[in-house]
């Protein structure tokens, strides 16, 4: 069974790139691999300064999607990213591991690969789970982003630590005389 690399892993890649700092090719590759990108797609390719620039641009565009409050605005931003970073889907078996869909040419740089994954993954995430399933952490002072993968669709925090911190703050504020 070949899983869709443009699904949840791709939107979590965007979250991880937006919340974890990276300044070297190895750090970038580690984040990509931790987020589900196949190692050969980032470790076996030369990562250039242009790749870093492309990733910074796509992350800035993606954060606009996260921060869009109106569904129509969010959709327009995602559609613009799809138009910019993807191509018509096509079947491929480039590595002999089974037929699957690509939304990009096989031979692209890491920056374009990441941009395609993020834009397509975000579109699939919002279409499949709900247009409101991206956001910023509700904890005061935390500006991290999250992709809501919860069953109920009510995630408001970037991590359990932030959720716990906010719960303690609310409890203490109620307990004051």
- Domain count for the chain, please give it: 1
Percent of the chain with pLDDT over 70: 95
pLDDT of residue 39: 83
Whole-angstrom distance, CA of residue 11 vs CA of residue 9: 6
Q: Is residue 90 part of a domain?
A: yes
Q: Is residue 2 part of a domain?
A: no
Q: Is residue 17 part of a domain?
A: yes
Contacts of 73-76 with CB under 8 Å at 24 or more apart are: 74/126, 74/131, 74/134, 75/126, 75/131
Domain that holds residue 33: 8-175
Condensed to tens digits (0 to 9), the pLDDT of residues 4-49 reads 555 688 999 999 999 999 999 999 999 999 998 888 888 888 999 9
Condensed to tens digits (0 to 9), the pLDDT of residues 60-107 reads 999 999 999 999 999 999 999 999 999 988 888 877 778 878 888 778
H or E stretch at 63: helix 49-67
CATH number at residue 84: 1.10.3300.10
pLDDT of residue 25: 93
Condensed to tens digits (0 to 9), the pLDDT of residues 101-112 reads 888 877 889 999
Q: Is residue 133 part of a domain?
A: yes
Q: Are 13 and 147 in contact (CB under 8 A)?
A: no
Instruction: Report the predicted TM-score, pTM, of the whole model to 2 decimal places.
Output: 0.88
pLDDT of residue 55: 97
């Amino acid at each position: 069974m070949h899983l869709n690399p443009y699904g949840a892993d791709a939107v979590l890649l965007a979250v991880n790139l937006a919340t974890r700092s990276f300044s070297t090719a190895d750090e970038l590759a580690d984040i990509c691999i931790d987020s589900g990108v196949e190692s050969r797609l980032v470790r076996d390719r030369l990562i250039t300064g242009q790749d870093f620039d492309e990733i910074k641009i796509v992350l800035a565009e993606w954060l606009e999607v996260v921060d869009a409050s109106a569904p129509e605005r969010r959709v327009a931003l995602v559609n613009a990213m799809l138009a910019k970073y993807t191509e018509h889907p096509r079947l491929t078996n480039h590595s002999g591991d089974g037929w699957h869909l690509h939304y990009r040419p096989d031979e692209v740089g890491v920056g374009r690969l990441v941009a395609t994954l993020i834009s397509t993954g975000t579109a699939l995430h919002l279409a499949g789970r709900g247009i409101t399933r991206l956001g910023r952490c509700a904890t005061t002072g935390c500006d991290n982003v999250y992709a809501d993968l919860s069953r109920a669709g009510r995630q408001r925090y970037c991590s359990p630590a932030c959720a716990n911190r906010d719960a303690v703050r609310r409890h203490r504020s109620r307990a004051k005389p």
